[in-house]
Amino acid sequence: MLRAIVEPGFWGSSAVQLAAAVGAVTAIVAGCVGVFTVIRSQSFAGEALGDLGAAGGSSAYLAGIPSLWGFLGVDVAAAGVMELIGIQRARGRDLATGIVLGAGFGLAALFLYLGTIYNNTTGVTVTVLFGSPFTLTPSVLPLVAAFGALALGAIVVLYRPLLLVSVSPELAAARRLPVRLIGALYLFAMALAVALSAVTIGAILSTALLVGPAATALQLTRRPGRAILVAGLIGVGAMWLGVLLAYDSYYWSSSHHGWPVTFFVVTLVLLAYIAARARPARGRAR
């Protein structure tokens, strides 16, 4: 039975083990951070940071700097500019994100162009946008774990005030909580989590894991603590199933063409969200 589902060599493959480990850490961090992203309606900021971080990482790589510093630097800077030009107001938030993303795309175009001229590596754009968990090297695992722990730590420290600020900014302001500071700190935690996953598993998967499982969890339960738990579980489940399917897909046709992990994870995440939305009304969040 099990042999029919899992193709030979799956458990023994070190690439699979690494992809599953990094994917699980990323999914847990993304689920935890993502619940607040969804409550605060900041999906666009998450997606923009993923794109910009990836572009920054590849630019740094082409410039000969370790890409880690490229994407962290770009994302922290981008989060700072977004915060500065007004992401804290719901009205101008989309616009602030869009302006930063547009300008960032422009810069990325230039850096990638220059990098391509001097190094002749057009493939780097593709790798960065559509990165694959199967191409990881074991050295990223401690980094992923360290920065993931940092982002999680920030959420734990901020948890109560962040929740109040996200759900009712007026009440938080009335209680003299530093609304803007908390929002900014959260944005930096999100930048950290997003940038890290964008560079390890690709910008697309980073957004998918940030928004999808959290939005699904918030359809299933309204309690934030439980939603974080459910989001983590959905994320890890989608990631592992995606890795398994991608591994299996190699044997689906005689040409031995492996389908990308990204495709499977993204599809699973979307299906989970649609299923949660379609659920009959009991206890459904409004």
Partner 1 sequence: MNPVFSGFMVNAWLVATIVAVVGGAVGFFVVLRGSAFVAHAIPNGSFAGAAAASLIGVNTILGLGVFSVGGALGIGLLGRRGRHDVATALTLVFMLGLGALFLSFSIEYAPEIYSLLFGEVLGISANQLAPTIGLAVASLAALAVLYRPLLLSSTLPDSGQARGVTPFAIEIAFLLLVALATTMTVPVVGTALIFSLMIGPPAAARSFTNRPCVAIALSVTIALVVVWAGIALSYQTNWPVGFFVGTASAAAYATGRAWRFARRRHGGH
CB under 8 A: which stretch of 19-27, 111-119, 152-160, 180-188 binds partner 1?
A: 111-119
Instruction: Rule CB under 8 A: choose which of 85, 150, 158, 177 binds partner 1.
Output: 85
Instruction: For the CB of residue 50, give the shortest distance to partner 1 in the complex, in Å.
Output: 10
Q: Are 227 and 100 in contact (CB under 8 A)?
A: no
Neighbours of 264 (CB within 10 A): 21
Q: Which is nearer to partner 1, 176 or 286 (CB)?
A: 286
Residue 13 in tokens: 């493959």
- 27: contact with partner 1 by CB under 8 A: no
CB 236 within 8 A of CB 28: yes
Tally the C-alpha atoms within 13 A of residue 44's C-alpha that lie toward its C-beta: 15
Q: Is 48 in the site for partner 1 (CB under 8 A)?
A: yes
Alpha carbons 134 and 17: distance in angstroms, whole number: 9
258 binds partner 1 (CB under 8 A): yes
**What is the CB-side half-sphere exposure of residue 61 using CA atoms within 13 A?**
21
Residue recorded with tokens 């730590």? 153
Listed as own residue / partner, the contacts of 148-151 with beta carbons closer than 8 Å and 24 or more positions apart are 148/25, 148/26, 148/28, 148/29, 148/193, 148/196, 150/192, 151/29, 151/32, 151/33, 151/189, 151/190, 151/192, 151/193, 151/196
Residues 120-139 as x/- pattern, contact with partner 1 by CB under 8 A: --xx-xx--xx---------
> Does residue 109 touch partner 1 according to CB under 8 A?
yes
- Binding partner 1 (rule: CB under 8 A), the pick from 5, 6, 65, 110 is 110
* Contact status: 240 vs partner 1 (CB under 8 A): no
CA distance 251 to 259: 10
> Among residues 41, 119, 135, 168, which is the contact residue for partner 1, using CB under 8 A?
41
Part in contact with partner 1 (CB under 8 A); list of ranges 5-13, 181-189, 233-241, 270-278: 270-278
CA distance 245 to 4: 12
Q: Does 160 sit near partner 1 (CB under 8 A)?
A: no
- The answer to the question of residue 102 lying near partner 1 (CB under 8 A) is yes
Q: How many CB atoms are located within 10 Å of the residue 90 CB?
A: 11
Distinct helix (H) and strand (E) counts, the chain = 12, 0
Residue 136 or 208: which CB sits closer to partner 1? 208
Written as six digits, the tokens of 175 are: 């209680």
Interaction of residue 283 with partner 1, rule CB under 8 A:
no
Minimum CB distance to partner 1, residue 126 (Å): 5
Among 36, 44, 61, 240, contact with partner 1 (rule: CB under 8 A):
44
Among 19, 136, 191, 215, binds partner 1 (CB under 8 A): 215
Nearest approach in angstroms of CB 138 to partner 1 is 24
Applying CB under 8 A, which of residues 42, 67, 88, 166 lies at the interface with partner 1?
A: 42
- CA atoms of 227 and 250, how far apart (whole Å): 35
For binding to partner 1 (CB under 8 A), which residues are involved?
38, 41-44, 46-48, 85, 91, 94-95, 97-110, 112-114, 116, 122-123, 125-126, 129-130, 204-205, 207-208, 211-212, 215, 257-260, 262-263, 265-267, 269-270, 273-274, 277
